[in-house]
Amino acid sequence: MDKKQLFKYAFIKSIPIMCSYLFVSMAYGILMEESGVEWYYSLLVSLSVYTGAFQFVLTTLLSAGASILTIMITALFMNSRQTFYSLSFVDEFSSMGWKKPYMIHTMTDETYAVNCTLELKDAEKKQVMFWVAFLSRCYWMTGAVIGGVLGQIIPFSLEGIDFSMTALFVIIFIDQWEKADTHKPALAGLAVGIISLLIFGENQFMLPALIIVSMLLVWYNSRKQVAVE
């Protein structure tokens, strides 16, 4: 495919992200406006932070006058899962030259999920991954600005609009389920997630669940390799 075709393909692949990001980031922009923060701060934060869930929490922390240390620790724990995601694309990112820092910075749950579905040649895949990351960030920043502006004029509450992010994850999971040859990893992830939620609670279950699932998948893949050999 030529560059125009790759961009078109990346745009099509990013449409589910667009549908989620625009509405969720608009909710974020509205929340920032309701907290007394001007719309352009929503854009500046999205440019530098770019992590949807934490940006909502950041709004609360800033409103409460939380310390920089508290904000840093919260951000670290909330986004530690990205460490595990990035392991899947170490080789691809390392060979992308000047794009490598940008790809690392723009790795999100949604871009990771879309990248996992790409079945292209190496060079084409890297180009599509870059465009998906770029477009997704544009969607988020656009929605944040629109939300900040709308927050000044909308007279009613939009509480619950951020559920579109959860809906996106469900759709991506179903798509992966249908394409997978085996459902054991998915079932293991669900089981570990539920058990971790019950043990650690909704605010702290993500990191232990990811560690346990990663260990299980490493063990499972090593067993498969041994069986093949």
pLDDT over threshold 60, residue 15: yes
pLDDT value, residue 229: 57
Q: What is the mean pLDDT of residues 216-220?
A: 80
- DSSP string of 14-42, one letter each residue: HHHHHHHHHHHHHHHHHHHHHTT--HHHH
Decide: 27 and 162 in contact? Cβ < 8 Å: yes
What residue ranges do the domains of the chain occupy? 3-163, 180-229
Percent of the chain with pLDDT over 70: 87
pLDDT value, residue 132: 93
Tell which wins on pLDDT, 75 or 126. Answer: 126
pLDDT value, residue 67: 76
pLDDT value, residue 216: 85
Residue 33: pLDDT band (50, 70, 90) is: confident
Read off the pLDDT of residues 130-180 as tens digits, 9 standing for 90 and up: 999 999 999 998 988 888 888 777 766 656 655 655 666 677 678 778 777
Q: What is the mean pLDDT of residues 15-24?
A: 86
- Residue 20 tokens read as 């989620």
pLDDT value, residue 136: 92
pLDDT value, residue 131: 94
pLDDT value, residue 135: 94
Q: What is the mean pLDDT of residues 50-77?
A: 76
pLDDT value, residue 8: 93
| CA dihedral of 19, 20, 22, 26, whole degrees rounded to 10 | 140
Query: 0.75 cut: is pTM over it?
Result: no
pLDDT value, residue 41: 78
Read off the pLDDT of residues 177-211 as tens digits, 9 standing for 90 and up: 877 778 888 888 889 889 988 998 876 776 688 78
- Residue 103 tokens read as 């790809």
Which residues have C-beta within 8 Å of that of residue 46, sequence separation ≥ 6?
A: 25, 55, 137, 140, 141, 144
pLDDT over threshold 70, residue 62: yes
pLDDT value, residue 138: 92
Read off the pLDDT of residues 90-123 as tens digits, 9 standing for 90 and up: 888 888 888 888 888 888 888 888 888 888 888 8
